[in-house]
Amino acid sequence: MEIDFNEYKLSSELRGHEDDVRGICVCGNAGIATSSRDRTVRLWSLEGHKYAASRILLGHTSFVGPLAWISPNEEFPEGGVVSGGMDTLVLVWDLRTGEKVQTLKGHQLQVTSVALDGGDIVSASVDCTLRRWRNGQPTESWEAHKAAIQAVIKLPSGELVTGSSDTTLKLWRGSKSTHTFAGHTDTVRGLAVMSDLGILSASHDSSIRLWSLSGEVLMEMVGHTSIVYSVDSHVSGLIVSGSEDCSAKIWKDGVCVQTIEHPGCVWDAKFLDNGDIVTGCSDGVIRIWTVHQDRLADSLELESYASQLSQYKRSRKRVGGLKLDDLPGLEALQVPGTSDGQTKVVREGDNGVAYAWNLREQKWDKIGEVVDGPDDNLRRPVFDGIEYDYVFDVDIGDGEPIRKLPYNRSDNPYDTADKWLLKENLPLSYRQQIVEFILQNSGQKDFTLDSSFRDPYTGSSAYIPGATSSMSAVSAKPTFKHIPKKGVLVFDVAQFDGILKKITEFNNALLSDSENKNSSLTELEFSRLGAIIKVLKDTSHYHSSKLADVDIALLLKLLNSWPLAMIFPGVLSEIIKKVTTNPAIPANLLTSIRAVTNLFKNSCFYNWLQKHRSEILDAFSSCYSSPNKNLQLSYSTLILNYAVLLIEKKDQEGQSQVLSAALVIVEEENLEVDSKFRVLVAIGSLMLDGLVRKIALDLDVEDIAKAAKASKDAKIAEVGADIELLTKQS
């Protein structure tokens, strides 16, 4: 059946964001608001037929996602914007001034969606709750799903609808659920109202569904090949969706009538009132698409976009399971093959071309172009441009990098092991261990091991299982280099001489201050303090310091009577709130956070640390963005230790909070390497051994893994690869 439809083409590109554009909000006549991973909200105003940047709204401390538009009223004469972020905050902005006028605190994890209900704001979060806010104050909160809530919308009827990682939608009248919509097979990520028909839902299962309010599926739209992040509808009956597959799709009567390719993931797509479409992409660009000839981009802009798209597609093109750019060039054909019919794939221009070795004529015969299809995951793995039945990851231990071992079932495993050990410059005494590894992981259980073998190079016997060898047991994929973290990290080294020197300075300052003179130490007390320091210094390596009651009383005097700025040398957990009160003094923060971190080395504190998790993490949450690198490292260590503890305790709620905090920290631009590494290890450990892997995936941990993997720092890249591997496991 012919469908009447005019194709959308590029109208304009809006550049300014420095990272992924995560959300789009159409703000009536005021323009468009967009949110980004770069922590900003930007407003774009219409000037003629084009949009131009008009305001940058700064206030979130991590990436910003959902947005909602407040129509002009008495409080907001030019309208307002509501934004939600990874930082757990909901912020309200006055567009007349561009200022933040309300900060709504209450959610424990990332805010995923915001909606307006009359004068109220309704927010949804990964913490599984919906919260209602009125005049900047919370009015009610309830657990709406047992898994992360990803979206909330208001229906014209006044009811609310939520979509969740539990794969369902729920219809709400007040805080009472009146219906559950079941049918999607994965996370429900986006929701929209379809005028006079029902509710649209976008899902990680790659589909879009239209539901009646009674829960009946009126239409299912299938065509995307990856996660569908967003969906929107227009009064014309058109539907637009944005997906991880780097496209926005236009649907009419359930049929995809156009696919608009993008140079990156399409996080959000919205219709303007005039029928134009706005898309937000992971390349940081907002694009307007139109069917009207008078609003089309000029030829130079169209050519530029075509070039961006071509370059991006080339960088992602895969041939035989490998990126095109990773294939060897034509020079690889100068190396003779090893067996008749051996295949090799090489790069020729923008294509991958397969060749087969002709043993009789001693040349490579061209087979033809290789094009990846939808069954790419079923293709034989490729290594150095050659297809194999298996390409194993081999971990030889001792901090060595993972080695690749290619193998065909028709090969002799002993020959394969010999050649591989020589190539990798490894001792031939490992031969039998490698053979057993190959047989076990290729499913050849009936193969008879040749224990009488004599090495052709050395004449020695084969390796016998159980014999002494310095090689660690080789292991099959998945192999993780840095996760999970076992055990905790502490700050054991105390600079006792420096502490005593600082106390001397503080005491002298008190003696010269008439108001605080009574708080100073007497000569006898100061002498006693020197003896205490000596005891601590002499016994710190054994953690067995013993102090008399009079010594404890003296230390408590310092803590309780000395001014705040002089607390630095002494630490007790009870003063956490005192030293973290604004304005916080870095020295106090550092000493107290390290003291709390050190509590993790003694199991008697575990229950206390678990019980007070929220207040401890909140108290020190400013540390990760501090310019003080020691504070950054201490907070990252605290996060890592909490991850280890809460995994052991199987505390899912606690793991969720720590994961959320870790994901916020890792986005910090100025985070030093060791701090970032520890936070990434915490994330990976929580995903591997904890209970929050699905939450991490919903929070787009894959993007974080990819960014880490691309790091120039080796250990950051390695743990990024660990996390990326976790995201690919079923």
User: Rounded mean pLDDT of 299-325?
Assistant: 80
Q: Quick one: tokens of 115?
A: 């909606």
Cα(646)–Cα(709) distance, integer angstroms: 26
**Range of weakest confidence among 313-317, 395-399, 504-508, 610-614:** 395-399
Report the alpha-carbon angle 537-542-543, nearest 5. Answer: 80
* The pLDDT of residue 115 is above 70: yes
Q: 157-171, 259-273, 414-428, 704-718: which has the minimum mean pLDDT? A: 414-428
Residue 20 neighbours by CB under 8 Å, 6+ apart:
36, 37, 63, 264, 265, 267, 280, 281, 282, 283, 284, 703
- Tens digit of pLDDT for each residue in 451-465? 444 443 333 444 333
Q: For 5-30, what is the mean pLDDT?
A: 93
The reported pLDDT for the residue numbered 543 is 45
What average pLDDT score do residues 229-245 get? 95
What pLDDT score was predicted for residue 699? 85
* Torsional sign, CA 299, 305, 307, 309: negative
C-alpha 21/C-alpha 63 separation (Å) is 10
| Residue bearing the bigger pLDDT, 333 or 402 | 333
Sheet holding 111-117, edge to edge: 111-117, 120-125, 129-134, 137-143
Q: What is the pLDDT of residues 163-192, one digit of tens each?
A: 999 999 999 999 999 999 999 998 999 999
State how far the Cα of 473 lies from the Cα of 353, in Å rounded to an integer: 38
Nearest in space to 229 (alpha carbons), one of 277, 187, 182, 261: 187
Cα–Cα distance between 627 and 590 in angstroms, integer? 13
With cut-offs at 50, 70 and 90, classify the pLDDT of residue 546: low
Hey, what are 449's tokens? 């091991």
Torsion of CA 693, 694, 697, 698, to 10 degrees: -140
Residue with tokens 């009577």: 561
Distance (Å, whole) CA 297 – CA 301: 6
Average pLDDT of the residues in 597-613:
85
Q: What is the pLDDT of residues 478-492, one digit of tens each?
A: 568 888 888 888 765
Q: Where are the beta strands (DSSP E) in 144-252?
A: 149-154, 160-164, 169-173, 176-181, 188-194, 198-203, 207-211, 217-222, 228-233, 239-243, 247-252
Reported as a pLDDT band with limits 50, 70 and 90, residue 541 is very low
Query: In angstroms, rounded to a whole number, what is the distance separating the alpha carbons of residues 673 and 668?
Result: 11
Q: pLDDT tens-digit profile of 323-372?
A: 677 788 888 888 898 888 888 888 887 778 888 888 888 989 888 777 65
Identify the band that residue 505 occupies on the pLDDT scale cut at 50, 70 and 90.
low
Q: Could you read off the pLDDT of 262-277 as tens digits, one per residue?
A: 999 999 999 999 999 9
pLDDT at 571 over 50: no
Task: Measure the CA–CA gap between 315 and 162, rounded to whole angstroms.
Answer: 37
Predicted confidence band at 413 (pLDDT cuts at 50, 70, 90)? Answer: confident
Asked whether residue 134 carries a pLDDT value surpassing 90, the answer given is: yes
Could you tell me the two tokens for 723? 């996390």
When pLDDT is averaged across residues 521-546 and rounded to a whole number, the result is 58
Please report where in the chains the tokens 């976008």 appear, as a residue: 202
Task: Report the pLDDT value the prediction gives residue 261, as an integer from 0 to 100.
Answer: 95
Q: Mean pLDDT lowest for which of 60-64, 309-313, 332-336, 426-430?
A: 426-430
Predicted confidence at residue 594, as pLDDT, reads 85
Residue that the structure tokens 């900047």 belong to: 136
pTM higher than the cut 0.75: no
Residue given tokens 């009015």 in the structure block: 139
For 615, half-sphere exposure in the C-beta direction (CA atoms, 13 angstrom radius) is 12
Q: Percent of the chain beyond pLDDT 70?
A: 78
Alpha-carbon distance of 234 to 193, in angstroms, equals 9
- pLDDT of 559 > 60? The answer is no
Structural tokens at position 295: 């609003």
CB atoms within 10 A of CB 190: 25
Residues 6 or more apart whose CB falls under 8 angstroms from that of 552 comprise none
**3 state DSSP class of 408:** coil
Strand partners, 69: 81
Question: pLDDT at residue 606 above 80?
Answer: yes
**pLDDT greater than 60 at residue 499:** no
For residue 342 the two structure tokens come to 């051996």
**pLDDT at residue 201 greater than cutoff 60:** yes
Q: Which string of DSSP letters, residue by residue, matches 606-653? A: HHHHHHTHHHHHHHTGGGGG-S-HHHHHHHHHHHHHHHHHHHHTT-HH
Structural tokens at position 158: 């006044």
Average pLDDT, the chain: 82
132 touches 138 (CB < 8 A): yes
Structure tokens at 310: 């071509």
Task: Pick from 1-10, 23-32, 412-421, 548-557 the range whose average pLDDT is largest.
Answer: 23-32
Model confidence at 256, in pLDDT bands (50, 70, 90)?
very high
Least confident segment among 15-19, 180-184, 495-499: 495-499
Distance CA 175, CA 28 (A): 29
The pLDDT, as a whole number, for residue 492 is 56
* 169-173/160-164 β-pairing: antiparallel
Look at residues 729, 691, 722, 690 and name the one whose alpha carbon lies nearest to residue 705: 722
Token pair 């040349």: residue: 363
ω before 583 within 30° of 0 (cis)? Answer: yes
CA distances from residue 526 to 496, 497, 515 in whole angstroms, order as listed: 15, 14, 20
Please check the confidence at residue 243 and state whether its pLDDT lies above 80. yes
Residue 618: pLDDT band with limits 50, 70, 90: confident
- Phi/psi class of residue 28: alpha, beta or left (left: φ > 0; alpha: ψ in -120 to 50)? left
pLDDT-based confidence at residue 523 (cuts at 50, 70, 90): low
Comparing CA positions, the residue from 654, 666, 649 lying closest to residue 703 is 666
Contacts of 410 (CB under 8 A, 6+ apart): none
Q: Where are the beta strands (DSSP E) in 371-421?
A: 382-383, 386-387, 390-394, 403-407
